[in-house]
Structure 1
Amino acid sequence: MTPTILARAIAIALCAAPMLAQASEADLIQRLDKLAAELNQVKAELAASKLKTDAVEARQQTMPAASGSASASASASISSEPQTVLSGYGEVNYNRPSKDASQAQTDVRRAVIGIQHRFDAKTKLVSEFEWEHAVTSADDKGEAAVEQLYVEREFDNGLRAKAGLFLVPAGLLNTSHEPTAFYGVERNFVETAIIPSTWREAGIGLSSTMDNGLTWDLGLTTGFDLNKWDPATGDGRESPLASIHQEGQLARSRDLGMHAAANWRGVPGLLLGGSVFTGKASHGTAEFAAPNARVTLWDLHARYTPGKWDLSTLYARGTISNTAALNQTFAGNPTPIPASFDGWYVQAAYQAWKSQDYVLSPFVRYEQFNTARSYAEMPQGLGVATAPTEKVSTVGANLRVGEGVVLKADYQKFKEEPNRDRLNLGVGYAF
């Protein structure tokens, strides 16, 4: 409906009331006829306007997909919705160990650029490109990576299908990891050491949101590669699955993984969910000592936001089966493959102060995690002691500045390794 037609329709309606109130019966009939005629004219103009709009849309759909910049500009001008959207997020963090201030450091932790292009109302491309630690070269510790790259299609029944490289829907953080989306300077340990942070796989996925508030996800993707395990370093002790994930980089695909996730939002402010991923990890490697090794990871999580409170909890557990023979070949090395690893946390945040564009939210988090809860049984004398369960307490605050910027500060205390106690400061953004 054009503004002119809409104004005329409103004028007719406004004029009708006083006219009808003062009219005699004869005048009333005559004026009603006149009003009806004018309304019919407005309806005719509306119909003509709709035909014109439909014709424009039909021409847009028949335009060649690659006819140069002129046709691209014409297509953009016809549609009021942007066809390509630029997004991004990033964070700069400062960490100061309380036991040894000489180890304090500042790091451009990451900078991410996202490009989303909508081909039509139901088909879109999602891509994200990430740079970590400021500088990427053969002599630096930086890294450049494709974080996401997939095409998604929505069908009339609400079903969505995607193919490419995408984030696995595990836990609370993996698919919502922008610095404005979580409390604290650093991402929590459970969703970093147990569930690898920004864990993505290449494959296909299906998802849908039901009328009852249930969202489900299913996928068939690449998985982990146990051939990458290095028993001589501490990478596997820091995060077992992060040390063997493939990230879409020439990913071995003899063995694929499957995942399923469900999240229910049927009550305002409440989220209940869980996920599971499983897949073999040997990829048919000849003479590999763990041909039937399987990686399984699952989690349960909840989040509740009543009023100014933001409460969340999560438990995650992973297993790597059939590793006893492979671990025997690692005898003498410090980091064999764990049979199980797990962790959990509880977190509470409260919106304590708000003034115009500023929102201050103090929070506290307590978490326990163990990256080597148990090992497969080994011959006497070859076994390795399980790792202690680390307990970390974090207290701090997030100060949101508008919708896209957050300032953060927190202090973390470690039970098993007190030399890791530290003060963290950070600034992050997302748009």
Structure 2
Amino acid sequence: MKHIALSLGAALLAGTTLCADELSDLKAQIAELQEKTDALIDETSDLKTGFNYTTVDANASVNGMGPAASKVYYSKSPLSIGGYGEMYWSSPDSDGAAGDAYTDVYRFVPYIGYKFSDNIVLNTELEFEHGGEEVAIEFMYIDFLLHEAFNLQVGNLLVPMGLINKRHEPTLFNTVQRPDVEKYLIPSTWHETGILAYGSFSDIGLSYTAGIINALALNNDNNMPGSVNKKWIRSGRIGSEENGPMQRVGFVGRLDYRGISGLLLGTSAYYGAATQGRPSGVNAFMYDFYGQYEKAGFKLKGLYTAMTVSDAEKIFAEAADGAEGYYVNAEYDLLATLPTRYRLPIFAQYESYDPVSSVAGGTRPDLEQTNTTVGMNFFPHEQVVLKADYVMTDFHDSALEDYNVFSLGMGFVF
């Protein structure tokens, strides 16, 4: 009797295994059929619209750019349309920078790209700021894709410096506003006319960019007698302005290391002319070091940058000739260990900078400040973010009043 029971058990087990195998095969067939059906639906839609639509790959990055800016490179269609947007509401406290709460439809940015061939690509970024009050071309270049180790970009280009400038889409940084260090010291978004060579050596995890761009114009209204202020570098951008001066150039270079999973280490620099027009013979050296590490929902990043200007007294006797600053940002996704597609990172950021750390002669204005920011993001979709943060600003000069700002923001890429 015992042998009969064992035989029956073995037979049942074999039958169960057979059913499980058949069920697994059936699931695979259904999945394959669903994939073919989805592809057929896409192709039918393409025939109706005449446009082969490509969604954003949130993990894609070509030459260090954001996923939406990289879209044209992996688009199914020669014509690619993408973009991003962001807006926010802010409420300053009752001290210091006191004021009523306000809102700003900060940016709406379409990307339009076109592939002339597999090796010649046009990529453009149009920017509408503050509800359309300011309109600009943020980049417009033709990319000649020659080899993994060597490619050329020609046109109006994103300057390859820092962490934010080339990756400025709102889903890529967790604060409502970009860090001040990468706004006033590295003047993001910084774009200039020029030519850049870039490439990567994937076997050793290195990538580089090097080239010539239009020079800064640090002889601007924010670096003149009685008006030296924190915008003296930011106002030195020429960008894509009408008939923008290009009498002098600068050299820019970048080196990144990604040979360890989750780790980025890099440095970039600008050296060249610091003025357009008169005076001549003034040069600027801007450099930075940065790093980022992420693993299992945790991300840590930081950057240090500095600028020095030689012969700044040619601009005027007390012209700004130095700036330096750094920031560190840490975040952790509270939903990282849960089986969900949502993300809920909390973060803290500390930045300290002096936008006028030295002047050519005389007494410099004391504009040194620190910003401590805490906040959180919610990603209901990998392309959509809702933000909240609280920024506490402290000035080194006791004559300047400290202040705090609470902000809510939203951003998206497509």
Q: Tell me the C-alpha RMSD between the 2 structures.
A: 2.5
| Unaligned residue ranges in structure 1 (runs of 5+) | 1-72, 136-141, 329-335, 378-382
Q: Does residue 347 of structure 2 align to residue 363 of structure 1?
A: yes
Distance, in Å, in 1 between the alignment partners of 2:79 and 2:298 is 36
Q: Tell whether the 8 Å contact from 1:201 to 1:248 is kept in structure 2 after alignment.
A: yes
Instruction: For residue 296 of structure 1, report the CA deviation from its aligned partner.
Output: 1.6
Aligned residues: percent identity?
Answer: 31
One-letter code aligned to 2:88? N
Q: What is the 5 A alignment of 1:203-222? A: 203-211=194-202, 212-222=204-214
Partner residue of 1:246 out of 238, 253, 257: 238
Distance, in Å, in 1 between the alignment partners of 2:147 and 2:159 is 24
Q: What is the 5 A alignment of 1:199-278? A: 199-211=190-202, 212-231=204-223, 237-249=229-241, 250-278=243-271
Task: Name the residue aligned to 2:110.
Answer: 113
Task: Name the residue aligned to 1:163.
Answer: 154
One-letter code aligned to 2:330? A
Distance, in Å, in 2 between the alignment partners of 1:241 and 1:87 is 30
Q: Does residue 75 of structure 2 align to residue 86 of structure 1?
A: no
The TM-score normalised by the length of structure 2 is 0.76
Q: Does residue 190 of structure 2 align to residue 193 of structure 1?
A: no
Q: 1:391 to 1:75 in 2, by over 3 A?
A: closer
Instruction: For residue 235 of structure 1, report the CA deviation from its aligned partner.
Output: 7.7
Partner residue of 2:310 out of 321, 328, 346: 321
Instruction: For residue 208 of structure 1, report the CA deviation from its aligned partner.
Output: 0.3
Instruction: For residue 230 of structure 1, report the CA deviation from its aligned partner.
Output: 4.1
Task: Name the residue aligned to 2:173.
Answer: 182
Task: Name the residue aligned to 1:394.
Answer: 373
The TM-score normalised by the length of structure 1 is 0.73
Bigger radius of gyration? 1
Instruction: For residue 327 of structure 1, report the CA deviation from its aligned partner.
Output: 2.1
Q: What is the 5 A alignment of 1:409-428? A: 409-416=388-395, 417-428=400-411
Distance, in Å, in 1 between the alignment partners of 2:120 and 2:169 is 24
Distance, in Å, in 1 between the alignment partners of 2:227 and 2:239 is 16
Partner residue of 1:98 out of 76, 85, 93: 93
Q: Secondary structure at the match of 1:358?
A: coil
Q: Does residue 103 of structure 2 align to residue 124 of structure 1?
A: no
Task: Name the residue aligned to 2:335.
Answer: 353
Structure 1 residues 95-135: Cα deviation after superposition (integer angstroms, max 9, x where no partner): 11012674211001111000111111111100010010003
One-letter code aligned to 2:404? D
Distance, in Å, in 1 between the alignment partners of 2:222 and 2:311 is 17
Instruction: For residue 74 of structure 1, report the CA deviation from its aligned partner.
Output: 12
Q: 1:297 to 1:232 in 2, by over 3 A?
A: closer
Higher helix share: 1
Distance, in Å, in 2 between the alignment partners of 1:163 and 1:323 is 31
Task: Name the residue aligned to 2:31.
Answer: none
One-letter code aligned to 1:92? M
Partner residue of 1:339 out of 321, 336, 341: 321
Distance, in Å, in 2 between the alignment partners of 1:309 and 1:234 is 46
Instruction: For residue 232 of structure 1, report the CA deviation from its aligned partner.
Output: 6.0
Distance, in Å, in 1 between the alignment partners of 2:130 and 2:302 is 30
How many residue pairs get aligned? The number is 337
Q: Does residue 280 of structure 2 align to residue 297 of structure 1?
A: no
Q: Does residue 384 of structure 2 align to residue 405 of structure 1?
A: yes
Distance, in Å, in 2 between the alignment partners of 1:189 and 1:282 is 23
Instruction: For residue 426 of structure 1, report the CA deviation from its aligned partner.
Output: 0.2
Q: Secondary structure at the match of 1:134?
A: helix
Q: 1:240 to 1:123 in 2, by over 3 A?
A: same
Q: Secondary structure at the match of 1:192?
A: helix
One-letter code aligned to 1:343? G
Q: 1:232 to 1:225 in 2, by over 3 A?
A: closer
Distance, in Å, in 1 between the alignment partners of 2:102 and 2:181 is 23
Q: 1:159 to 1:385 in 2, by over 3 A?
A: closer
Distance, in Å, in 1 between the alignment partners of 2:227 and 2:189 is 17
Higher deviation after alignment, 217-226 or 98-107: 98-107
Q: 1:205 to 1:325 in 2, by over 3 A?
A: closer
Instruction: For residue 238 of structure 1, report the CA deviation from its aligned partner.
Output: 2.5
One-letter code aligned to 1:208? G
Distance, in Å, in 2 between the alignment partners of 1:271 and 1:110 is 28
Q: Secondary structure at the match of 2:131?
A: coil
Distance, in Å, in 1 between the alignment partners of 2:112 and 2:295 is 34
Q: 1:247 to 1:359 in 2, by over 3 A?
A: same
One-letter code aligned to 1:399? F
Instruction: For residue 358 of structure 1, report the CA deviation from its aligned partner.
Output: 1.9
Distance, in Å, in 2 between the alignment partners of 1:166 and 1:107 is 27
Instruction: For residue 156 of structure 1, report the CA deviation from its aligned partner.
Output: 3.8
Distance, in Å, in 2 between the alignment partners of 1:122 and 1:221 is 23
Instruction: For residue 251 of structure 1, report the CA deviation from its aligned partner.
Output: 2.6
Distance, in Å, in 1 between the alignment partners of 2:167 and 2:76 is 25
Q: What is the 5 A alignment of 1:131-150? A: 131-135=128-132, 142-150=133-141
Q: Secondary structure at the match of 2:87?
A: strand
Task: Name the residue aligned to 1:311.
Answer: 300
